[in-house]
Amino acid sequence: MSTRILIVEDDPDIAALVAHYLDKAGFTTEHIVSGRDALAAIAAKPPDLVVLDLMLPQVDGLEICRTVRSDRKTAAIPIIMLTARVDESERIVGLELGADDYLAKPFSPNELVARVRALLRRAHRGPAPTRTLMYGPIVVDTERHVVSSEGRDVTLTAKEFLLLEYLLQHRGRVLSRDVLLTDVWGYRYTGGTRTVDVHVRRLREKLPTLVDALVTVKQFGYKLIESEE
């Protein structure tokens, strides 16, 4: 069964361009113009990934992102946000609300395809031997992509899960933002290191153990201390 990607974009030319390149890459695409219709479509039949414009009629991309992430049935759907705004704060808000990635218009269609592939590859990896990572009260089932803390399930986005897994696998090491972008996001990322900072902040909010354990290395990156067992 082919991977289904929902394109939520009110500009017909951009939507046609995105659909053309994704279809050519072997994906199945569906195009929706309005935010309200997008929410209904996602709830009725969750896609494998959403390419989401920020500025939409009726309901904007930020509200769609917030709604998708607040529903357990759709919370893990990868979201790539498209934005015509040059203000970094708008892109950061999108990441804060749960977008996994973003591209600023105008963008390269080939780069979009590369990012879609990288995100899907990490969000839908094939079955692997059962393996559990533990860090204090945090338990990560890497096969089922399930995370719990102190016995309580914690819902993470695809990128949040992969970042947490990577940090746990490399605990005790100082990891630069560039290394995290390359290894977790899966490509040579040029969108700015604030992406990492936002995802780290969200992990700390969802997993309080990391507030003190995940240390910021000034002007470089992050380090997960080794002491939690």
Query: Residues 130-180: pLDDT tens digits?
Result: 488 999 999 999 877 889 999 999 999 888 999 999 999 999 999 998 888
The three-state (H, E, C) secondary structure of the chain, written as one string: CCCEEEEECCCHHHHHHHHHHHHHCCCEEEEECCHHHHHHHHHHCCCCEEEEECCCCCCCHHHHHHHHHHCCCCCCCCEEEEECCCCHHHHHHHHHCCCCEEEECCCCHHHHHHHHHHHHHHHCCCCCCCCEEEECCEEEECCCCEEEECCEEECCCHHHHHHHHHHHHCCCCEEEHHHHHHHHHCCCCCCCCHHHHHHHHHHHHHCCCHHHHEEEECCCEEEECCCCC
pLDDT, residue 127, reads 45
Domains in the chain, CATH or no CATH each:
4-123 (3.40.50.2300), 132-224 (1.10.10.10)
- 0.75 exceeded by pTM: no
Query: Residues 60-112: pLDDT tens digits?
Result: 999 999 999 888 889 889 999 998 765 666 667 777 778 888 888 888 999 99
